[in-house]
A and B are shown apart, each in its own frame.
Chain A
Amino acid sequence: MDEILEILEKDCRLSNEDIAKMLKKKPQVIKKAIRKYEKEGVILKYKAVINKELIKNADSEVRALIEVNIMPQKDVGFDRIAERIYSFPEVSSCYLISGTYDLLLIVEGKDIHTVSRFVAEKLAPAENVKGTVTHFLLKKYKEDGVILKHRKENERIAISY
């Protein structure tokens, strides 16, 4: 992977100038490369990783993993039905997987009822959906490589040879 992407994946707030210094290139070159990645859709979005559990007075939120069995369609396989499902804003992630079911969804809502209602009213009755199994998430430990725990900095002796 291009080192620019490796750097941005860790910290997307670094300026072009800083990245240029680290890679010993001109800021213009970095800017151009990033623009190209954005245009090609390699870079889709820049966002912060937020630990919502620490937000005071945050709106409550529940998440569920939902296994979905679907009937593939002629010519387009799973893609069209997947698109119909992931287009719901409640669906935050959607994967096609191998094994005993076909789609794995992550669905978010403000409480259990909202998520249940989504499954009962939108997802389960959808055309070609054969069945669903819903697992509510109890606790998040790690997400997208980030451990959701405030860790004390590793303490090193402040000066050594």
Chain B
Amino acid sequence: MKDIVSKKVQDMQPSGIRAFFDLVLGMKEVISLGVGEPDFVTPWQIREAGIYSLEQGFTSYTSNKGLYKLRLSLNHYLKNRFGLDYSADEEILITVGVSEAVDLALRAIINPGDKILIPTPGYVSYGPVTELAGGVPVYIETKNNSFKLTSRVLEQAIDKKAKALILNYPSNPTGVSYTRRELDELKKIILKHRLLCITDEIYADLTYDFEHTPFAALSGAKDKTLYLDGFSKSYAMTGWRVGFACGPKEIIAAMTKIHQYTIMCVSITSQMAAAEALQSGRKNVEEMKREYRRRREFVIEALNRIGLKCLKPQGAFYAFASIEKTKLNSLDFCQQLLKQQKVAVVPGDAFGKSGEGYIRISYASSLENLKEALNRIETFLKGLPAGRQGGKCG
């Protein structure tokens, strides 16, 4: 049967990591810091809005672009918060999470052989989805600059076939984000080479050290940006699957064409709940953000103390820690840690080859869990042969 599966798809998944995931899922009583979603439940008033919509009989399709009410709320919200004016009629599309939006965007713009620039290590879907759409992913190494894309490195990666850059910030897995000034530097290159900047800003609300700036809000950037965000991380709504794409009407129309044939529309219940989230959920967002920020301080201090060197993430809820001193590769480290101490973290190379030598630790977990897991990681490190245990890092 295997030859019935397309060659493209057969080549897709890095198999070692899949096997590790299965190992984690098959084990009991594991403390997992390997989770890519909030540990909070969706705030009650948002859940209640979903329930109420069902009671009222809202069980139909919505317009392909999404409920007008939700698009209009998004228009107001983006205008008030960032001064970004996207027309609810033509420039906003409600998608099944940012994941669908990325897929639609790439399929909407790629001609065979077009290159998509992807900073690495980065989120797992951009490369495979580019390939599925017939494009060529060009990975831009960011490891040498603390996982931050610079205008110089970006420009070096651009050639005539380059069509778009995917910029995810705050980043999963590194937690790196960009200040307005840093974005301005990148913008110069993007405008100069007439690239489209596809931004995945799903962690925008979890930015701790400065105000998040959407790339589209930079002066002159809006026409060259496809701005993607959603409700999953900020409102703890991962399972509802609601995201949105905002951008030039030609691109949104192209994406809507694909969306109408493949998805039709996002579940109406989820859209109703998302509308409520925009209306009343900001307080919840701020509260959860404060909690994540406190955990961040706690985790980063602990990791550096036990010898897993780690830069302070500026956003999201991940720490990307170096395991270089243990002389283990990422997958071995994670497997041994899981087997010996029952703690699950994600091997860094899941996010690209240059993630090798790192692990992603999620602090979307209770302080109690974090404390226990970090103790166990410390015990694990102490059990490694002398000279490979790490040690104090600056």
Residues of A with Cβ closer than 8 Å to B? 3, 6-7, 11, 14, 18, 21-24, 154, 156-161
Contact yes or no, B297 A21, CB < 8 A? yes
Q: List 26 A-B contacts (CB under 8 A).
A: A6-B290, A11-B367, A14-B367, A18-B371, A21-B297, A21-B302, A22-B295, A22-B297, A22-B298, A23-B297, A24-B297, A154-B39, A156-B35, A156-B37, A158-B32, A158-B344, A159-B24, A159-B32, A159-B35, A159-B346, A160-B36, A161-B36, A161-B125, A161-B172, A161-B346, A161-B350
In the complex, which residues 25-58 of chain B have their Cβ closer than 8 Å to any Cβ of chain A? 25, 30, 32, 34-37, 39, 41
How far is A150 from B301 in the complex, measured between Cα atoms in Å?
33
Nearest opposing residue in chain A for B124, CB measure: A161
How far is A11 from B366 in the complex, measured between Cα atoms in Å?
12
Number of B residues near A (Cβ < 8 Å) is 27
How far is A7 from B291 in the complex, measured between Cα atoms in Å?
9
Contact yes or no, A7 B294, CB < 8 A? yes
How far is A157 from B25 in the complex, measured between Cα atoms in Å?
8
Among A7, A11, A21, A159, residue most surrounded by chain B Cβ atoms (within 10 Å)? A159
Contact yes or no, B294 A23, CB < 8 A? yes
Residues of B with Cβ closer than 8 Å to A? 21, 24-25, 30, 32, 34-37, 39, 41, 123-125, 172, 290, 294-295, 297-298, 301-302, 344, 346, 350, 367, 371
Q: Which residues of chain B are within 8 angstroms of A21 by Cβ–Cβ distance?
A: 297-298, 301-302
How far is A22 from B296 in the complex, measured between Cα atoms in Å?
7
Q: Which residues of chain A are within 8 angstroms of B346 by Cβ–Cβ distance?
A: 159, 161
In the assembled complex, the CB of A155 is this many whole angstroms from the nearest CB of chain B, namely 11
In the assembled complex, the CB of B172 is this many whole angstroms from the nearest CB of chain A, namely 7
Q: A3-B290, A6-B290, A18-B367 are in contact. Are A160 and B297 (CB under 8 A)?
A: no
Q: Which residues of chain B are within 8 angstroms of A154 by Cβ–Cβ distance?
A: 39, 41
Q: A18-B298, A21-B298, A24-B297 are in contact. Are A158 and B124 (CB under 8 A)?
A: no
Q: Which residues of chain A are within 8 angstroms of B298 by Cβ–Cβ distance?
A: 18, 21-22
Nearest opposing residue in chain A for B345, CB measure: A159
Nearest opposing residue in chain A for B287, CB measure: A6
Q: Point out the residue from B25, B123, B367 that lies within 8 Å of A159, measured CB to CB.
A: B25
In the assembled complex, the CB of B348 is this many whole angstroms from the nearest CB of chain A, namely 12
Q: Which residues of chain A are within 8 angstroms of B24 by Cβ–Cβ distance?
A: 158-159
7 nearest CB pairs, A to B: A22-B294, A159-B34, A160-B36, A158-B32, A159-B24, A21-B298, A24-B297
